[in-house]
């Protein structure tokens, strides 16, 4: 079974493939040009649509009926699978709110800039993680602070 992060990446890859453009932003053009903003807007919107479609499939499966495995081991296995599926959907629900936030930042011309330093996040990072809000350096510093406070 695929991990939760792998499923998120697969949905993002599918969203990138379904874009109706051959354009991919590059470092050789003006940062956050209108063309780049439009690319990321389409990508974020398609990513969100893909997540909703995946969630609809899960919802339909849940509506089809409860787990009725006659064997206790089979039932336990099915319940574990459902638990993992529901955790995945909860994670994706949180991801949708990050996508919505990224779309709002695009509208406010704040998308692509670090919320800590104000520096450009970078095209390659945004292509890999379109909902990124910090540069790699700021993210690493944030994670170090989290780890230190967790260890205390």
The domain in which residue 91 lies consists of 4-110
Tally of domains in the chain: 1
The answer to whether residue 121 sits within a structural domain is no
- What CATH code is carried by the domain that includes residue 54? 1.20.120.910
Which of 29-33, 50-54, 76-80, 128-132 is least confident?
76-80
The answer to whether residue 141 sits within a structural domain is no
Give yes or no for residue 152 having a pLDDT over 70. Answer: no
The answer to whether residue 134 sits within a structural domain is no
pLDDT tens digits, one per residue of 20-69: 778 889 889 999 999 999 999 999 999 999 888 877 776 666 666 556 66
From residue 92, alpha-carbon distances to 47, 63, 65 in Å are 11, 19, 23
Cα 95 from chain centre: 5
The answer to whether residue 13 sits within a structural domain is yes
- What's the CA gap between 9 and 6, in Å, rounded? 5
The answer to whether residue 47 sits within a structural domain is yes
Q: What is the DSSP string of the chain?
A: ---HHHHHHHHHHHHHHHSS------TTS-TT-HHHHHHHHHHHHHHHHHHHHHHHHHHHHHHT-----SSHHHHHHHHHHHHHHHHHHHHHHHHHHHHHHHHHHHHTT-TTB-TTT--B--HHHHHH-TT--S-HHHHHHHHHHHHHHHH-
Phi, psi of 120 (to 5 degrees): -60, 135
The answer to whether residue 55 sits within a structural domain is yes
């Amino acid at each position: 079974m695929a991990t939760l992060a792998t499923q998120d990446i697969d949905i993002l890859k599918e969203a990138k493939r379904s874009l109706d453009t051959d354009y991919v932003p590059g470092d050789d053009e003006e940062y956050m040009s209108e063309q780049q903003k439009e690319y990321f807007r389409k990508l974020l919107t398609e990513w969100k649509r893909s997540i909703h479609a995946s969630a609809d499939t899960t919802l339909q499966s849940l509506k089809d009926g409860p787990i009725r495995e006659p064997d206790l081991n089979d039932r336990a296995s099915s319940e574990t699978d459902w638990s993992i599926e529901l955790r995945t959907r909860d994670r994706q629900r949180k991801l949708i709110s990050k996508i919505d936030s990224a779309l709002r930042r695009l509208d406010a011309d704040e998308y692509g800039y670090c919320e800590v330093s104000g520096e450009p996040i970078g095209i390659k990072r945004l292509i890999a993680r379109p909902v990124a809000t910090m540069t790699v350096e700021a993210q690493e510093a944030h994670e170090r602070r989290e780890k230190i406070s967790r260890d205390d």
